[in-house]
Amino acid sequence: MGVSTMAKRWLNIQESADYLSVVAYTIRNAIWSGELPYVRCGKRIIVDRADLDRWCETRKQLERAF
């Protein structure tokens, strides 16, 4: 199976931002603050899709009923 038929596990910063529908700065800020794990490959920074999912799960908020 190629990448085109299977979801990529490792995403660069822009792909991570696209995956979460946020701007790239949000991902960079989460990495710089130590909230989001990452791997450095030379000059590239990549993020595990599972870590993005976990990061979002820890930030879920329930809407209050008014």
Does 39 reside within a domain? yes
> What integer pLDDT is reported at residue 24 of this predicted model?
98
Q: What's the pTM?
A: 0.81
* Domain containing residue 27: CATH number: 3.90.105
The tens digit of pLDDT for each residue in 21-66 reads: 999 999 999 999 999 999 999 999 999 999 999 999 998 876 666 6
- From residue 9, alpha-carbon distances to 33, 43, 66 in Å are 22, 19, 40
Residues 38, 44, 50: CA angle, nearest 5 degrees:
30
CA 31 from chain centre, in angstroms, equals: 9
Structure-token pair, residue 51: 């870590």
Residue range of the domain that includes 18:
10-57
Does 65 reside within a domain? no
pLDDT confidence tier of residue 5, bands split at 50, 70 and 90: low
Domain count, the chain: 1
Contact 19, 52 (CB under 8 A): yes
